[in-house]
Structure 1
């Protein structure tokens, strides 16, 4: 059995400090995320309102579509908008997100360059309302919002899409970060399951270290062939402080905070996630567990800080990427 012995594999993963789904759910999601606060992160409209109330920046909201008859009215509302994004409020994994980057006559141009007829556009939105893209398949509402124009630093390491930055926050302390880069395979979406690249970010410095594309360790973008290593993420300190503040905003102890960097508006919060994925560990070649245990040690000692700036300082001092 040797190498494939499941107990031996578990021991090896444990030595690396990797957190698996079972441990994440049992020890962190269930223990630290009160169920009553899930709507704050599972509904993107509620998240947006909470962020605005806390003075945190989010993409501008153009419209909310709740009923079928509002789909037809949307064309008129958006007639002066060259670009916009449609998102299901309860969507997950990037499903159902429609990015419109321009127009040609009556048709909408998608981020991948293809044209979409009005009827096809309406059909997509109708599917979204019916719950095709939502968690649990329940009827949903749709957000129509500002289409982010990504920071020029990412032009050579992104394929026809907007990269996003995820920071895992535990009890208000940023513990790990990565940037997700769209590829041709992901159809311009920053979603790892659809083929985007996850690139680990050193928490103290905000500099990218290495990337993971599927199961492959990479240092160059497969489409642009430019290096994804050594990028300095703009306004990194600001991103860390915003992420830390999302602890109070959400009421949840273990969350993923997703950002985009707009070339005009700077950092914007895209969404929060109560069950952030674990591929971030592969992207960083570091396990989450040692970092989570350090924060738990502060909790046990009664030394958790209420000041986001102090929490960020602790994170930068303790959570450098090793290896």
Structure 2
């Protein structure tokens, strides 16, 4: 299956149940996401407090930088001799996230081994406060978080950056999932538009279904050459329950949950999104609409466990790596 073939064919899009942006905005986001709830997920500090109050694990908060006067005193807010991440509280799409993995002789080591000095970190924080990375360009707050140590079972599946798992939750039900793997092209970021790899995940098992980069099917990571068909997320049902619980806490009916697996702390909610993108359909090689419509027909309420069990029963998929490999080999 060539992704570009069905993206260019409206009849194929309809047959696959592909959800477009206009329909996503008008039918699902506008109808199921009350606007007054958006600040709960648009502001990472509010999200962190909400998750902690619900006893849902998130990356540890080291400090917040709210004023330019604090930027000048940044050094006293930074941890010594270990990594950390600096993020805009109201950023989106991974913009403005600076990950430091180590420190050496007063310099700070990025994931690509580039060295930064304190003045460069201060400049980055100043840009965050000025709203360079925030939604609408509004003044923002810089968050300094504990560094995530991704589980070694994912070695070879990602280049430099930490792989994360995006789960689309609709009315509390997990309807589609993918893992985003960073590459050299994406500069170590898990952003599909910048060249990260998207791997569709079977809702029933957490096993890899299908993988794409730049909209085209692939069977191995472009930098490490590890076979993507080997990817499988452990403790998958528990992870889906965690993602499903985010609906109960936010009451957002159409929600993207981003989760990372820390080798020491387990599953952590990285952030939530009230307007999750649609590229997850490309990574899965199928559309969201049939699953969303099925959930809309459900009348009675279920708890997170029962919602996950329903999704695992009804939304299981079959991997197609062998088919894709044959197409690539013969093309």
Range class of TM-score, shorter chain: over 0.9
CA distance in 1, matches of 2:35, 2:57: 26
Match of 2:220 in 1: 220
Match of 1:133 in 2: 133
Match of 1:5 in 2: none
Deviations 1:135-181 (A, max 9, x none): 11111001110110101111111101100000000000000000000
User: How far has the Cα of 1:232 moved from its partner?
Assistant: 1.6
Conserved 8 A contact 1:82-1:102 = yes
Conserved 8 A contact 1:40-1:47 = yes
Change (3 A) 1:318 1:164: same
Deviations 1:78-136 (A, max 9, x none): 24251000110010110000000011212111111000011111111101110000111
Deviations 1:277-314 (A, max 9, x none): 1110111111100100110010xxx2232x11110000
Match of 1:60 in 2: 60
Conserved 8 A contact 1:284-1:321 = no
2:307 corresponds to 1:311? yes
Structure 1 residues 100-115: aligned runs within 5 Å = 100-115=100-115
CA distance in 2, matches of 1:57, 1:183: 27
Structure 1 residues 263-282: aligned runs within 5 Å = 263-282=263-282
CA distance in 1, matches of 2:273, 2:75: 31
CA distance in 2, matches of 1:11, 1:142: 46
Task: Give TM-score, length-normalised by structure 1.
Answer: 0.94
Match of 2:76 in 1: 76
Deviations 1:173-217 (A, max 9, x none): 000000000101111111112211110000001101121101211
User: How far has the Cα of 1:12 moved from its partner?
Assistant: 2.6
Match of 1:144 in 2: 144
Query: Which secondary structure does the structure 1 equivalent of 2:229 belong to?
Result: coil
Conserved 8 A contact 1:16-1:286 = yes
Conserved 8 A contact 1:166-1:179 = yes
Match of 1:22 in 2: 22
Structure 1 residues 172-321: aligned runs within 5 Å = 172-298=172-298, 302-305=299-302, 307-321=303-317
Conserved 8 A contact 2:174-2:308 = yes
Query: Which secondary structure does the structure 1 equivalent of 2:291 belong to?
Result: helix
Match of 2:46 in 1: 46
Deviations 1:52-82 (A, max 9, x none): 0001000000001100111122212224251
CA distance in 2, matches of 1:220, 1:235: 23
CA distance in 1, matches of 2:46, 2:234: 28
Conserved 8 A contact 1:209-1:230 = no
User: How far has the Cα of 1:10 moved from its partner?
Assistant: 3.0
Deviations 1:224-244 (A, max 9, x none): 001111322012111100011
